[in-house]
Structure 1
C-alpha cells in the first residue's frame, strides 16, 4: 500500500485509516528536509511505502514526486511506473521497534552507524527523531533468500564480510557474545511465566551458556568487528558494479569471526518474505562444499591465493560449533521479542525452532 500525501483534504481523510503510519515528528522532519532540496517542488508531495522483512524495526521507503499524481484508472502497476518517472528524491525511515533497549543500546548503535558511514561502508544518517531516524536510501537491491545460495553472490558476501571484520572500529575489542547471552537469558526469564520458562528449558540455559563459553575459551580463530545479524535482508547489491553493502548494525560488536560466519550460515534456513516468515528450513543450511567455498574465499587475500588447507578446516570446525551459540542467541531474542514487540511475526515459534536445533545438534558438535 502506497500513501500519497499530495491529495485534497477530503481524499486524505478517506484514505487515512489505510495509510502507513509514521510519527508526526518524523513527517515534520521529512518536510523540513525536502524544503531545503532545490529539486523538490513540493516538500509534502511524498509517498510512504512500507518495506517488508524487518523484525526489529518498522522500515519505510519515502520518496518525493514532482508533477500531478497518477490516477488509478491505469491500474496499480501503471500508477507505480508513473510514480517512478516522477520520483526526484528517496530516503529510508526507520522507526525503532518496541523493547529494543532490552537488546542493545541505541546510542551505541547510532555511533556505530555514523562510524560505518565515515568508513564508506553504509548509508549516511540524514536526521533523527524521538523514536527513529532518516537514512540515505541506497540505490541497490536487497538480497533474497535464494541469492545466498548463488555461488557468485556467496563469494562476494564472503569477501565483504572479511572486509567488515577488519574494520578499525572505536570502543573495546572484547568479545560480547557471552555477556549478551547471559543478559538476554536474565531478561527472558524475567518476562516469561513459569510455564513458558519450563517449556523453553530456560532453567538449564545458564549452565549451557557457561559450558559453551568454556568450550571456546582461548580458541576464537580471530576476533573482528562482527555484524552478528547477517541475514539476506541486511545485504544489498549494486547490480551494475556487483558491489555489496552491509546494513543495519543494531547487534554489531566485536566477536569471534567464526561466530559471525556461523550465524550467516544459519540464516540460510530462513525466508522472511515467505507466507510463513517465521518458519525455518534447515535443509537449506549450506552443505560441506558450500561452506568450504565460502571459507576459502573468506580466508583468501587475493583471487590467486589459495588459503592453507588446515586453516580452512579449523575454521570450518569452529564455525559449526558456533552455530550452537547462534541458536541460543536468536532463541532468546525470539522469546523477548514475543513479549515486547507488536510486529506481525511469530517470535515464539521462531524461538522454539532455534532451541530445537540447539538441543538436536549439541552433542554431535561438541564431541566432534
Structure 2
C-alpha cells in the first residue's frame, strides 16, 4: 500500500535484450566488520511448490525448478527454452571468435621504427615479397570453428529450427582495468554489476525499531523530559547508532567516514504513511570530524520490513524482481540488505496526491509509464505458466486469512455492544462481519466468481498468454514526481514529461492481466490514506467515471515505448469471420464502425487512408476490451486486498483463541496505527457491490446490514 520516498532511475528504459535467465538471482556478498567482501555460489533457483505458495506468499514451500510435480508440458517448455538459449549463446560465441580471428589475420605487421620503410618492407606490403603464412594455430582454429558450426546446424535440425534463436546475452568485451578480482573489491553504495548480475552487499544484522516507532524528535529540551521520554530518546539514539554500524558493515559509499556511536550527528526522519514497512530518510552530518571540506556521503533510504510482512511477501523474489528492473534502469537501486530490511538510493522527489490521480494530464502520464513497465519487462517462463499473480496471492494468503476471520467472526455478536467499538481493534464490529458475511459464505462466493470469470477465456493457455509484468499496487503514494534542477533537462520537454514520474515499491510486482492492473489503479482513486478521520475508507463515488477510464486506457494503448514488440497493439489478432479476440477472451461479434454512417467521417483534407481508419478502429476496440476486462477483474482485486488487510492486522487474543478484555488490548495500538480490519471490511463491501452488479448474487439475498453498506460502481 502506501510507500514513501524510494526512487528509481529516471532514464528511459530501453532494453538491449530480453531477460535471458530464469530467476536472475542477485549475487549477495556477506560482509562483516573484520573481513572484506567475499562471494559464494548461489543455490539453485527455487519456485513455489504448492497452490498455496506464490511469488508473494508468506513462508512458501520451495523446491528446485526441476521438481517432478511440474507437468510434463512445463518440463518440455523449460527444456526447449534452455536448449534454444544454449544454442544462441554458442552461436554468438562462435561468431565473435571468427570475427576476432579474421581481424587478426588482416592486421599488418607494425614497424617500431619511425624511419622510412625499407625496400623489403615495401615489397612485403605490395605483395611482391615472400607472403606470410597462417600459423598452425590459426588453421586448427578454423577447423575447430567449422566442426562446431556443423554441430550447431545438426542440433538446430533436430529441434526443427531453421536459424539460430534469439536468446542473448551477446558476448561483450570490457576494457581491461587494473588487475583486481571483483570478489575482493570494496563494496560501494552504487549497485555494481559483474557478468550482468548485481552485486548487493548483505549482512546478518537485525535492526530493531520497535522501541522508536512512537518517538518524536520535536520534543522539549532534555531537562524537561520525563523518565519515559528519556528512555525513548535513549532508544532512538541507540537505533541511530545501529544504523551507522550497519552502514559501516555494508560499506555504503562514504558512510565509513561517519564515526561509530555518533548517532546524534545524523538525521533520521520516518516517512509517514507507509503501511507495509517503516521507511526512513537517513541524512549524514554535513561536517564529519577529520574530513572537513569533503563532500558528505549521500542520503540513503532505510526500509525496515513490517512484522506481519513475512506472511505476505517473498523477499527473495522481490530482490530478484528489483534486479530485473535495475537492468532496464527502471528499478530502485539497492545499496545493501540486512535481515529485516535494506538500504536504497534516495531521490529528492515527492509522491503524488489523491487529486493528482484525477488530473487528466497526470493520468495520461501514469498510463504511459504503466505501458512502459508492461512492455519493458519480459515475463519468465515459470511466471507465465503460473497464471495471474492475483489468484496466487489469494491462494497463498488464504490459510492465514481463514484462521483470522474465523476467529473474528466469533466476536461479532458477543462484543458488538460492549463499548469498545471506538477502539482500533474493534471499530469494524459496528458494521458486522469483517467480510460482510460469515467466512464460509464469503469464501464460497470467491470460488463462484472465479468460475464465472474463467468462462470468458478459451482456456488457461489463452489466459496466460495475455499476462504482462504488472506493478499491482499503483496507488498515488507509490508514484513519485522528480523535478529536475537543470532547466535544460530533457525531462522538462513536453514529450518527456511523463518520465518525471517514478514508480516505486515493487513488493507485489508479478504477472497479471492488464485489466487487473487497471482495476487496482482505478480502485485506488477511491482512497485517501492521509485522511485525518478515516484513512482506511473506500469512497466509491470517487471511482473514475467512464470518460476518465477511457482517457487513461487510450493513452495506454496509443503510447509506443521503445521496447521490442511495442510498435503495434499488443495481443490484438483478428479471428476468422470478422470477429475479434480480446486478449485471451472469447471472440465477440464486431460491429461496423460508426464512421461508416457519419458524413463527418469522410477523409480529412490531409487524406484519411484505409490504414488510418483500421488503426483507429483497432485502438477503439482495444480500449473497449480493456474497459470490459477491468470490470471483470475488479472483484478479485478487492478480494486480494481484503485478505491483505486481514493478515496485516494485529488481532488481540488470536494466539490464545480468546477475545481479550478491553484493558488488555487497547494500550497496544500506536498513535499512527492503521485500521487494517476496517480497511478489509470496506474492501469487502466493494467486492459484494461488484458481484451484485454482475448478477452473481441478488441484493435481497444478502444480510440487511451488508445491503446498507454495499459499495456500488455501476460502470
**TM-score category by the smaller chain?**
0.7 to 0.9
Give SS of 1:258's match: helix
1:230 Cα deviation from its structure 2 partner: 1.1
Question: Against the structure 1 CA distance between its residues 264 and 21, is the aligned structure 2 distance closer, same or farther, given a 3 Å change threshold?
Answer: farther
Question: Against the structure 1 CA distance between its residues 20 and 273, is the aligned structure 2 distance closer, same or farther, given a 3 Å change threshold?
Answer: farther
Structure 2 counterpart of 1:254: 511
Give the whole-Å Cα distance in 2 for the aligned partners of 1:38 and 1:358.
Answer: 48
User: Could you say what the CA RMSD is over the residues aligned between the two structures, in angstroms?
Assistant: 3.3
Question: Against the structure 1 CA distance between its residues 214 and 193, is the aligned structure 2 distance closer, same or farther, given a 3 Å change threshold?
Answer: closer
TM-score (norm. length: structure 1) = 0.83
Structure 2 counterpart of 1:81: none
Note if contact 2:390-2:637 (Cα within 8 Å) is conserved in structure 1: no
Give the whole-Å Cα distance in 1 for the aligned partners of 2:470 and 2:303.
Answer: 22
Give SS of 1:93's match: strand
Is 1:235 paired with 2:461? Answer: no
Give SS of 2:330's match: coil
Structure 1 stretches of 4+ moved >3 Å = 1-4, 11-15, 17-27, 31-36, 38-45, 192-195, 301-307, 339-343, 365-368
1:25 Cα deviation from its structure 2 partner: 5.0
Give the whole-Å Cα distance in 1 for the aligned partners of 2:542 and 2:516.
Answer: 19
Note if contact 1:127-1:134 (Cα within 8 Å) is conserved in structure 2: yes
Question: Against the structure 1 CA distance between its residues 227 and 36, is the aligned structure 2 distance closer, same or farther, given a 3 Å change threshold?
Answer: closer
Pick from 344, 348, 351 the counterpart of residue 139 of structure 1.
Answer: 348
Aligned residues: 346
Note if contact 1:269-1:283 (Cα within 8 Å) is conserved in structure 2: yes
Question: Against the structure 1 CA distance between its residues 285 and 22, is the aligned structure 2 distance closer, same or farther, given a 3 Å change threshold?
Answer: farther
Is 1:283 paired with 2:541? Answer: yes
Pick from 383, 386, 404 the counterpart of residue 172 of structure 1.
Answer: 383
Which stretch of structure 1 is more off in the superposition, 338-347 or 301-310? 301-310
Pick from 616, 627, 645 the counterpart of residue 316 of structure 1.
Answer: 627
Deviations 1:139-189 (A, max 9, x none): 322111111111111111101111111212445223222232233232111
TM-score (norm. length: structure 2) = 0.44
Deviations 1:13-49 (A, max 9, x none): 6871684985865441224567741896667432110
Structure 2 counterpart of 1:107: 316
Give SS of 1:308's match: helix
Question: Against the structure 1 CA distance between its residues 62 and 278, is the aligned structure 2 distance closer, same or farther, given a 3 Å change threshold?
Answer: same
Give the whole-Å Cα distance in 1 for the aligned partners of 2:539 and 2:325.
Answer: 32
Give SS of 1:66's match: coil
Pick from 261, 271, 274 the counterpart of residue 51 of structure 1.
Answer: 271
Note if contact 2:252-2:335 (Cα within 8 Å) is conserved in structure 1: no
Larger helix percent: 1
Give the whole-Å Cα distance in 2 for the aligned partners of 1:96 and 1:22.
Answer: 15
Give the whole-Å Cα distance in 2 for the aligned partners of 1:361 and 1:21.
Answer: 50
1:259 Cα deviation from its structure 2 partner: 0.2
Give SS of 1:225's match: strand
Structure 2 counterpart of 1:72: none
Structure 1 counterpart of 2:525: 268
Gaps of 5+ in 1: 69-85
Note if contact 2:634-2:690 (Cα within 8 Å) is conserved in structure 1: no
Which stretch of structure 1 is more off in the superposition, 332-341 or 38-47? 38-47
Give the whole-Å Cα distance in 2 for the aligned partners of 1:90 and 1:301.
Answer: 35
Question: Against the structure 1 CA distance between its residues 355 and 55, is the aligned structure 2 distance closer, same or farther, given a 3 Å change threshold?
Answer: same
1:128 Cα deviation from its structure 2 partner: 0.8
Give the whole-Å Cα distance in 1 for the aligned partners of 2:255 and 2:235.
Answer: 31
1:108 Cα deviation from its structure 2 partner: 0.7
Give the whole-Å Cα distance in 1 for the aligned partners of 2:535 and 2:508.
Answer: 21
Which stretch of structure 1 is more off in the superposition, 48-57 or 274-283? 274-283
Question: Against the structure 1 CA distance between its residues 281 and 17, is the aligned structure 2 distance closer, same or farther, given a 3 Å change threshold?
Answer: farther
Give the whole-Å Cα distance in 2 for the aligned partners of 1:317 and 1:18.
Answer: 53
Note if contact 1:2-1:48 (Cα within 8 Å) is conserved in structure 2: no
Higher relative CO (Cα under 8 Å, sequence separation at least 6) belongs to: 2
Give SS of 1:265's match: helix
Note if contact 1:2-1:47 (Cα within 8 Å) is conserved in structure 2: no
Is 1:358 paired with 2:687? Answer: yes
1:252 Cα deviation from its structure 2 partner: 1.2
1:250 Cα deviation from its structure 2 partner: 1.2
Note if contact 2:284-2:299 (Cα within 8 Å) is conserved in structure 1: yes
Question: Against the structure 1 CA distance between its residues 204 and 183, is the aligned structure 2 distance closer, same or farther, given a 3 Å change threshold?
Answer: farther
Give SS of 1:339's match: coil
Question: Against the structure 1 CA distance between its residues 20 and 297, is the aligned structure 2 distance closer, same or farther, given a 3 Å change threshold?
Answer: farther
Give the whole-Å Cα distance in 2 for the aligned partners of 1:349 and 1:273.
Answer: 15
Note if contact 1:34-1:40 (Cα within 8 Å) is conserved in structure 2: no
Note if contact 1:58-1:96 (Cα within 8 Å) is conserved in structure 2: yes
Give the whole-Å Cα distance in 1 for the aligned partners of 2:241 and 2:439.
Answer: 40
1:194 Cα deviation from its structure 2 partner: 4.2
Pick from 130, 136, 150 the counterpart of residue 339 of structure 2.
Answer: 130
Matches within 5 A, 1:74-89: 89=298
Note if contact 2:248-2:256 (Cα within 8 Å) is conserved in structure 1: no
1:269 Cα deviation from its structure 2 partner: 0.8
Deviations 1:63-85 (A, max 9, x none): 113149xxxxxxxxxxxxxxxxx
1:246 Cα deviation from its structure 2 partner: 1.2
Structure 2 counterpart of 1:28: 245
Give the whole-Å Cα distance in 1 for the aligned partners of 2:350 and 2:679.
Answer: 26
1:321 Cα deviation from its structure 2 partner: 2.1
Is 1:297 paired with 2:555? Answer: yes
Gaps of 5+ in 2: 1-214, 289-294, 413-432, 485-490, 492-496, 562-611, 652-668, 697-713
Give SS of 2:535's match: coil
Q: State which structure, 1 or 2, has the greater radius of gyration over its C-alpha atoms.
A: 2
Pick from 61, 68, 72 the counterpart of residue 281 of structure 2.
Answer: 61
